[in-house]
Amino acid sequence: MSEPIRVLVTGAAGQIAYSLLYSIGNGSVFGKDQPIILVLLDITPMMGVLDGVLMELQDCALPLLKDVIATDKEEVAFKDLDVAILVGSMPRREGMERKDLLKANVKIFKSQGAALDKYAKKSVKVIVVGNPANTNCLTASKSAPSIPKENFSCLTRLDHNRAKAQTVQQRGAAVIKARKLSSAMSAAKAICDHVRDIWFGTPEGEFVSMGVISDGNSYGVPDDLLYSFPVVIKNKTWKFVEGLPINDFSREKMDLTAKELTEEKETAFEFLSSA
């Protein structure tokens, strides 16, 4: 059996993590012969809940799970990581301006990026889930200059999976309305799909969607954005899928997304330089 890998999940006391952790621990993501040391990070007020999650994972008696570490300290959480799945972020509260939300998240992801830079392996794969995922991911990457920016990606797989299942654009809002909570099970499944494809590569002849650094793309998206592209993955390295046909409707939506992400990035970078 191979050496254990260290996998971090942040926001580990939350809903999405609760649906995600069992799949990581039972071999559904990294394979059935890959032992795992699972590191759970959350904020101090959530440590009581996190202890409950820890006990449940221990009760599952998963043979691949060599150790579970629950912590509220970044220097413990980010040490020697092979994979970091950053689920935790500041949720939007009622009456909160988008700018305030962005400012709070820049602070979180600047700190976590710096911790990755200082403590994690340089080969670490970083997957950002917490919204606004694209800009949070870019913030973390900019704060971890010693880790290749290609190692950072953000989750757009949930929308990809919904599109494959031909569900509607407003599905997330519909789930919240029905459950009174945001998508957790489907988000966790999308994270598993995303991380598994990074680890093992995409199936021959198939591509997936993930938010990656836009440098050198052929779709007219400005450089230095974290933007969702079609990619194929081999040997843990992604590559753009070139030449997919783009109709006028898609072009318009893509340009609008690039504009929004550019504006968000500029605001975030103002906060980043003053934080």
Which residues participate in the annotated binding site? 42, 92, 98, 105, 129-131, 162
For the chain, the first-to-last Cα distance in angstroms comes to 44
The two tokens of residue 148 are 């290749």
Pick the closest to residue 271 from 101, 123, 27 (CA basis).
101
Count of residues making up the chain: 275
CA distance 188 to 87: 10
- Residue 196 makes CB contacts below 8 A (sequence gap 6+) with 28, 29, 30
CB 128 within 8 A of CB 153: yes
Q: Residue positions in the annotated binding site for NAD(+)?
A: 42, 105, 129-131
Q: Residue positions in the annotated binding site for substrate?
A: 92, 98, 131, 162
